[in-house]
Structure 1
Amino acid sequence: MKFRSFTKNDDVLEVPALQLPDVERIRKAGRRAYMAPSKRGYALAGGGQASYIDLPAEYRGSSRQICGLFPFSSGAGSPLAGVPLGSNILTGNIVGLDHFTAYQRGLIPNPSAYFMSNPALGKSTLVGKIMMGLDAFGVLSMVLGDVKGEHVLRTRMVGGKVIRLGNDRGYLNPLDSAIAERAAERLTGGLRQEVLTEAHYHRKSLLMALLTVARGSSISEEETIVLDKALRILFDRFDGVPLVKDLAQVIAERPEAIRNAVLDRGDDERYADSTDALQKSLNGIADGSTIGGMFSRHTREEDRLDITRSCVFDLSAIDDTLPEQQAAAMLASWSTGFAAVKVSQVLADAGLEPRRNYNVVLDELWRALRIGRGIVDRADSLTRLNRHQGVGQMMISHTLKDFDAVADEADRKKAQGFAERCSMLVMGGLGRSEMDAVQNLRNMTRAERQRIVSWSDSKNITSRGGKQAPFGRGKFLIKLGQGPGIPVETRLTSVEDRVADTNQRWEVLRKEGLAPEEIERQLGITDPDVEETDHDAAA
């Protein structure tokens, strides 16, 4: 390259001729500004300085594919381990991540995730996006208690089953173990006995949970023994599927095994003192006077869980003003779902069914845990994560402060353990006061805390896709263990966007008091199970 020279204060300056602006102006500017041009060029009008530099196009690929581009490649900071969620807010890289795949890749020690954010910031949309993505990977999702009907449409779209409870729209008999009993007919030896034993303990745990909700406190040790004995006597002598009222009748008949358990020594009054309270509580469940009538009748065949399909327990028919009924329905859904997963695994171990992967979704945890003393222990026994291969779990709540609704301090600490046991923490917009509680779960940098708080500002409105929305909607920080968080802005496909819009209309109609069936009719959502039944009847 040719240079032109000139002098300034006896110093010789050389500037490339092709980039040389007016020589006279350079002399006036002096040596200091033009001896070493900046990375953007000469800082002079006409000197060629670029005020804005576009980011170069970035492409992502495996090290095998892009190794020839050295040294122009660098490691990507955003994982591609699962469902595509959106883009990294800091780098723009695509983020693909879910708790199930992250566990399989060794990124987290157990396949569990905890989601929390303030309302209306896209938490349920993100959960639904992961559910639909996992379905494409062959993972079946079980939404065990959908109090708003947010996941009904998604479940229908992937060919899943909707099971409705509450308000005379569906019934769940807590003594009905049809899935386990049908599996036991196909099994022999130790596996058969394992299924039957598990079925007994699931019935007992569910009844203890329902009794705790109905009373607002735990049942006593003596009542637990009586309940266990009565269940064993009932299933030894009953032909068919019993109801809760039949269990209460067994206790009222004073069988010898229960007399011995309560040490009544032949005294009917002592027997009554030991069992009357339990009989009253069981009768309240049986006639629907305490927690609604959803546990008073037999489970209909169309309301049975199918282990070969995704499913959702739709509880949107239960009004928010009936917290005891909501909690009871959620606990029953949890028990039924986890029992079905266990049966599926045993059948797979025996080679009678293919090994299925399940993603268990527990939404609105706080609604069940706030009811009364002892309910956390019952929930913990029902939702204990099965460590067998192929089962993941998603827990969803608004904030960690939701657990403050648990009245008993000991129960409150146990409830907080639900979040602590989850290896993957996903946070949307949260208030500043929430950050200290989050810090106890995960190490948070100052920038991460400020980012999460900024997403919670409801007054900060932005335009997205021609619609006004909160600035923090769709933005989440994902923490895997104690490492740096991954800030993600979710991106929805056209199909996912339509589902999200439909769910918003569903919630509006639900608050207006419309029944779930009427909402589906107005939104044009069809039930494939009903259509199939109608077709068979016509044939």
Structure 2
Amino acid sequence: MTRPAPETPGSVIQPASPAEQAAAALSTVDATADDTVEAFAADQNRALPEPDAGLPAEWIAARDKPVPPALGWRMRGAGRSPITPGLPRWVGSTTQVSGLYPFVLPAGVPAAGVPIGVHQFTREPVGFDAGEYLRNGWATNTATYLTGEPGTGKSTVARRIMWGLSAFGTGVLVPADTKGEHRRLVDALGGTSVTLGRGLHRINLLDPGPLGLVLHQVSAADRDRIRQEIQARALTLAEGGLTIASGRPLDDTERLGLALAYELHRRRSPGTTPTLSDLAVILREAPEEIRAAMLAVDSAELARLLRPLLVRLHLLLRGPLAGLFDGESTFSIDPGTPGVCLDLSRLTTDAEDTAVAVAMLAAWGWSAALIDAGQALGVRRTWVQLYDEYWRVLRAGAGMVELSDQITRLGRHLGVQSIMATHSVDDFEALPTPEDRAKARGIIARCSISICLAQPQSELDKLSRIVPMSPDEQALIRHWAAPPTWAPALQHPGRGKLMIKPRERLGIPVTMRLPASEKPFHDTDQAWAA
């Protein structure tokens, strides 16, 4: 290869050296390669869309802004978060992952169970189910203590829990509805509501209730066991009714006489249910079977021993409580019912605390019999039971704490969630004896979960000695109890706000949200409607 020389006059073309020839060849290849690369890049650029093509204008504007801090911009409407999100990491396609976690904030509180409301600070949904708490190790039993000032939503919380659990197949029990405010819910669930009162329904303290309906459906061995359970429960209820009516516990002689009369009636009339009137007739007869068992020398001594018990029976049958507990029960309850409400509101209108207390005790016994009936038939079913105005029975007389505890001691082994509702710890502090007050505090302490609504600091000081609460938790609950302004149409600041407090765990502050369809079931101020 030769390199052309400049065409100048007289010039002579010289052949190129080997080095010059190699350099010329390389320059030619490089030029060709550069042209190829540029052509390829140009072709690719023509195939790509413009960088902003098809993007919304707000996306393009946001792309050019600085990266926000971890909590978001500190301005209104910017979606600022009060906590740093700690989202779990998932791997999957866009279609799968896009709907996996639709919430902005992490799930730091229990969401399983009945939707109670939203967390006051993080706005996370909060669920409640004492059974779910037990299964997850957040609680050691299914008993819940519910307390709060009147009008702040205590009954609403209880009904929301019962309503939601019923959707999971849980049976609902309101054994003593002193205000008649829960029967509408039970009726809506397809349950059974019974109103106790003079001229209405009455209840026999010795009636086994639903437990007696299953005797013919169980084996012979179970039948004997159930009969013994029926007798023990009947005598406990009768003893409680007599204690409330007279204001003092039965002594050993009276307790023995009551048991002997019950056993004698069962031998005389097998297969029938005695009433208190039947026992009074037997005790007036003073039969030889009772005299021998009570070690009385003669009939005169037996009559002297039985006289106090007979007086107390007549006080319950013919005194101010006449017509309520002196005959056979006028209703029955199917063990398969979705719910039961025993309405005592007709008794409270007469301001008869004694009648209400006896009726509540009897109703508690019936609800326990309903649960035991299902257990005897092998029916696997859970229940939620509301003990509203729990203090009424406890303050009816000395020894009632122990009796009521025996009747209401249902728990996780029977699949029962118990909600014990009171206005204040003072309801227990007003009990007549130090022993009863100590036992009542023990009932609260055994509740693994507490739900506290608005309370003043004086009540929180007493409650915190039983239920451990931090100063911050107390301050928040006290804030809910702060009086509102005098501006009209402003509701109580604590209405719908509650603290779910599992023992030894951080409390969960919740704000309830009621849909319009649910509000009529929770309106307890209808008497003051314009």
TM tier relative to shorter chain = 0.7 to 0.9
1:481 match: 503
- Secondary structure at the aligned position of 1:495 is classed as coil
Change (3 A) 1:437 1:305: farther
Greater alpha carbon shift after TM alignment, 439-448 vs 113-122: 439-448
Report 1:170-319 matches (<5 A). 170-238=201-269, 240-265=272-297, 267-287=298-318, 289-301=319-331, 303-304=332-333, 306-319=335-348
Tell me how far apart the structure 1 counterparts of residues 282 and 346 of structure 2 sit (CA, whole Å). Answer: 33
Change (3 A) 1:461 1:364: farther
1:55 aligns with 2:76: no
Report 1:404-483 matches (<5 A). 404-460=429-485, 468-483=490-505
Q: Deviations over 1:402-455 (max 9, x none)?
A: 112211111111112221111110000011111222212232222211111111
Q: Deviations over 1:321-346 (max 9, x none)?
A: 21101111110110111122112111
| Conserved 8 A contact 1:307-1:340 | no
1:108 match: 139
Change (3 A) 1:460 1:255: farther
Tell me how far apart the structure 2 counterparts of residues 491 and 462 of structure 1 sit (CA, whole Å). Answer: 23
Q: Deviations over 1:8-30 (max 9, x none)?
A: xxxxxxxxxxxxxxxxxxxxxxx
1:77 aligns with 2:135: no
Amino acid at match of 1:263: L
Amino acid at match of 2:461: D
Percent of aligned pairs with the same residue?
Answer: 30
Cα deviation for residue 60 of structure 1 reads 11
Tell me how far apart the structure 1 counterparts of residues 175 and 260 of structure 2 sit (CA, whole Å). Answer: 29
| Conserved 8 A contact 2:390-2:421 | yes
2:361 match: 331
Change (3 A) 1:336 1:65: farther
TM-score (norm 1): 0.78
Amino acid at match of 1:269: A
1:402 aligns with 2:427: yes
1:529 match: none
Cα deviation for residue 456 of structure 1 reads 1.4
Give the CA RMSD over aligned residues: 2.9
Change (3 A) 1:38 1:180: closer
Tell me how far apart the structure 2 counterparts of residues 131 and 207 of structure 1 sit (CA, whole Å). Answer: 30
Tell me how far apart the structure 2 counterparts of residues 277 and 209 of structure 1 sit (CA, whole Å). Answer: 16
Cα deviation for residue 82 of structure 1 reads 0.7
Change (3 A) 1:206 1:473: same
1:164 aligns with 2:195: yes
- Secondary structure at the aligned position of 2:79 is classed as coil
Change (3 A) 1:179 1:498: closer
1:356 match: 381
| Conserved 8 A contact 1:366-1:405 | no
| Conserved 8 A contact 2:388-2:422 | yes
5+ residue gaps, structure 2, are 1-65
| Conserved 8 A contact 2:286-2:303 | no
Tell me how far apart the structure 2 counterparts of residues 462 and 385 of structure 1 sit (CA, whole Å). Answer: 46
Cα deviation for residue 182 of structure 1 reads 2.5
Tell me how far apart the structure 1 counterparts of residues 104 and 327 of structure 2 sit (CA, whole Å). Answer: 65
Change (3 A) 1:63 1:373: farther
| Conserved 8 A contact 1:147-1:315 | yes
1:150 match: 181
Tell me how far apart the structure 2 counterparts of residues 355 and 38 of structure 1 sit (CA, whole Å). Answer: 56
Change (3 A) 1:152 1:402: same
2:402 match: 377
| Conserved 8 A contact 1:166-1:292 | no
1:24 match: none
| Conserved 8 A contact 1:125-1:500 | yes
Cα deviation for residue 391 of structure 1 reads 1.5
Tell me how far apart the structure 2 counterparts of residues 51 and 394 of structure 1 sit (CA, whole Å). Answer: 43
Cα deviation for residue 104 of structure 1 reads 3.0
Tell me how far apart the structure 2 counterparts of residues 83 and 186 of structure 1 sit (CA, whole Å). Answer: 35
Change (3 A) 1:168 1:141: same
Change (3 A) 1:168 1:472: same
Q: Deviations over 1:447-489 (max 9, x none)?
A: 21111111112335799xxx53111100001111111100000
1:504 aligns with 2:525: yes
- Secondary structure at the aligned position of 2:518 is classed as helix
Cα deviation for residue 401 of structure 1 reads 1.1
Greater alpha carbon shift after TM alignment, 141-150 vs 246-255: 246-255
Cα deviation for residue 254 of structure 1 reads 1.6
Tell me how far apart the structure 2 counterparts of residues 316 and 490 of structure 1 sit (CA, whole Å). Answer: 27
Tell me how far apart the structure 2 counterparts of residues 38 and 166 of structure 1 sit (CA, whole Å). Answer: 70
Amino acid at match of 2:403: R
| Conserved 8 A contact 1:195-1:343 | no
Cα deviation for residue 306 of structure 1 reads 4.1
Report 1:85-96 matches (<5 A). 85-96=116-127
Q: Deviations over 1:111-146 (max 9, x none)?
A: 111100000001101110111000001001100101
| Conserved 8 A contact 2:481-2:494 | yes
Tell me how far apart the structure 2 counterparts of residues 62 and 139 of structure 1 sit (CA, whole Å). Answer: 33
Q: Deviations over 1:242-289 (max 9, x none)?
A: 321111111122223321232212x222212211110111122233x1
| Conserved 8 A contact 1:305-1:311 | no
Tell me how far apart the structure 2 counterparts of residues 347 and 100 of structure 1 sit (CA, whole Å). Answer: 22
- Secondary structure at the aligned position of 1:285 is classed as helix
Greater alpha carbon shift after TM alignment, 193-202 vs 491-500: 491-500
Report 1:19-58 matches (<5 A). 51-52=75-76, 54-55=78-79
Amino acid at match of 1:317: R
5+ residue gaps, structure 1, are 1-36, 41-48, 349-353, 510-539
Amino acid at match of 2:308: A
